[in-house]
Chains A and B, each alone.
Chain A
């Protein structure tokens, strides 16, 4: 059972366009939502993250929008560049401790291709 559902599977955008990736979750115990960027043969790298007490967070060209009532969050990449071409994973974590100690549950990933 996929606890974090991500869409689309793949996305093609022209340079300068906006890339939008969506995620939805079921577990209301999740309280930390990071986005990771992964290039081929490399490990996932943290891009941006949000907590559910905030509806939006922006860092440069990257923005996370969070809708707690709908249990959805999305990544917007403004002015997309060819160098942004990578696989993007949303993730969720129960940071309330117990025995979870911060393990991440990932979405299925989105392969983003930005054409020049």
Chain B
């Protein structure tokens, strides 16, 4: 079965640089979620998109932005990177309109800011 695909799996950046993470949801899923997980922390909700429109916003810094494209893939753009941005970034997708709305997570992208 197709899963949520995230790229890149690992990314190393310097402070003040920019990073872009990509997420390809499960086919026909209508909602994408982005989560940030720091070392030893629980995943924190950043932002979500339903049918390519932003549906909810969590604790996402102003330096971060995200969008969902016509093919339903999503990108998380992070600028002016700080050391504290080092974390695992997970994308999840779900089919909200199915009623079951089970979130399936990707394997994550590990960002290291030096």
Q: A-side interface residues toward B, CB under 8 Å?
A: 32, 34, 36, 41-46, 49, 89, 93, 95, 99-109
Known: A43-B107, A44-B105, A46-B102. A101 touches B42 (CB 8 A): no
Give chain B's interface residue range (CB within 8 Å of chain A). Answer: 20 to 34
Interface residues of A, dominant DSSP: loop
Question: Which A residue sits closest to B49, measured CB to CB?
Answer: A101
Task: For B104, give its contact among A42, A46, A103, A109 (CB under 8 Å).
Answer: A46
B48 contacts partner chain A, Cβ-Cβ < 8 Å: yes
Q: B-side interface residues toward A, CB under 8 Å?
A: 4, 31, 33, 40-45, 48, 50, 55-56, 58, 90, 92, 94, 96, 101-108, 110
Task: For B45, give its contact among A32, A104, A108 (CB under 8 Å).
Answer: A104
6 contacts between A and B (CB under 8 A): A43-B92, A43-B107, A44-B105, A93-B101, A103-B33, A108-B42
Q: How far is the CA of A34 from the CA of B101 in the complex (A)?
A: 11
Q: How far is the CA of A104 from the CA of B103 in the complex (A)?
A: 8
A49 contact set on B, CB distance < 8 A: 102
